[in-house]
C-alpha cells in the first residue's frame, strides 16, 4: 500500500481485505465510505463487531450461532427428535429452516472436506455428531451437504464414519433435485422442500 496512506486507514484496509470478496481496492473503497459516515454510525458499527464475538455462542447441541445455548431450534419442544439433518454450515441450516417444511433437529458439520484448502476430517464436528447419535434418539441422519464434489466426498466420509458405529441409524441424502455443483444455502425453497421430501437412502 502507498506509503502516504495514514496508518489507521492502512490498518483498517488490511483488515477489511481479509474478508471474502474484498480485495485491497474494494477494502479501500469500503474504508473511505466509513470515513464519510457520521461518527456515531461508525462507532455503532465498531460496537456491533465487538459484540458479535462477546454475545454470540455456539449452540451446545447443533453448533449453530445463538445468544443462549441451546438455541431456539434445539430447545423447541414441537420439533421431532428422531431425524437429524446434517448441514455443512450455519447459513445452510437457516435456509432449510426458513422453508418450514422440516421440523426435525439439525447439526452443523463445520465445513466440507477440501484437502486443497487444508480442510481435513479433523476440522469436522465428528465428535459432536457421535455424541448426538449415541443418545439413541436419532433414527435417521439426513445428509444435506449439497451436490459439489466436496459435498459428495464428505457425504461418503460421514456415511463410512457413522455406519459401523451406529448401525441402527438410517442414512439418507437430499434428492437430486439439487443440481450438481450447487450449495444448499443458494437453493430456492421449493427445490429444498422436494429434496427433503424425496430424500434417498445413502
- Of 79-83, 110-114, 122-126, 145-149, which one has max mean pLDDT? 79-83
**Average pLDDT of the residues of the chain:** 89
* 22-39: average pLDDT: 92
Retrieve residue 133's grid coordinates. 447419535
Q: Per residue in 88-130, pLDDT tens?
A: 999 999 999 998 889 999 999 999 998 877 788 888 999 999 9
**What's the residue count for the chain?**
202
Span 152-156, average pLDDT:
91
Neighbouring CB atoms inside 10 A of 178's CB total 23
Q: What pLDDT is stored for residue 197 in this prediction?
A: 76
The angle at the Cα of 100, spanning 96 to 102, to the nearest 5 degrees, equals 65
Q: CA-to-CA distance for 162 and 107, rounded, in angstroms?
A: 14
- Residue 11: the pLDDT is 92
Q: Does residue 180 carry a pLDDT above 70?
A: no
Place of cell 448401525: 167
Question: 96 near 65, Cβ under 8 Å?
Answer: no
Q: Which residue has the cell 417444511?
A: 101
Choose between 147 and 172: higher pLDDT: 172
Phi, psi of 47 (to 5 degrees): -65, -40
Amino acid at each position: 500500500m502507498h506509503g502516504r496512506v495514514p496508518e489507521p486507514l492502512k490498518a483498517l484496509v488490511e483488515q477489511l481485505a481479509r474478508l471474502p470478496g474484498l480485495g485491497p481496492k474494494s477494502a479501500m473503497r469500503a474504508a473511505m465510505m466509513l470515513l464519510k459516515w457520521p461518527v456515531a454510525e461508525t462507532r455503532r458499527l465498531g460496537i456491533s463487531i465487538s459484540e458479535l464475538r462477546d454475545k454470540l455462542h455456539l449452540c451446545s447441541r447443533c453448533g449453530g450461532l445463538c445468544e443462549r445455548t441451546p438455541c431456539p431450534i434445539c430447545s423447541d419442544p414441537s420439533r421431532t427428535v428422531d431425524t437429524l439433518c446434517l448441514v455443512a454450515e450455519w447459513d445452510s441450516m437457516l435456509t432449510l429452516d426458513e422453508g418450514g417444511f422440516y421440523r426435525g433437529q439439525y447439526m452443523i458439520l463445520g465445513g466440507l472436506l477440501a484437502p486443497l484448502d487444508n480442510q481435513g476430517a479433523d476440522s469436522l464436528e465428528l465428535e459432536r455428531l457421535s455424541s448426538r447419535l449415541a443418545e439413541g434418539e436419532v433414527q435417521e441422519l439426513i445428509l444435506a451437504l449439497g451436490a459439489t464434489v466436496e459435498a459428495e466426498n464428505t457425504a461418503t466420509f460421514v456415511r463410512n464414519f457413522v455406519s459401523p458405529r451406529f448401525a441402527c441409524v438410517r442414512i439418507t441424502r437430499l434428492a437430486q433435485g439439487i443440481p450438481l455443483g450447487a450449495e444448499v444455502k443458494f437453493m430456492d425453497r421449493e427445490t429444498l422442500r422436494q429434496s427433503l421430501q424425496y430424500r434417498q437412502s445413502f
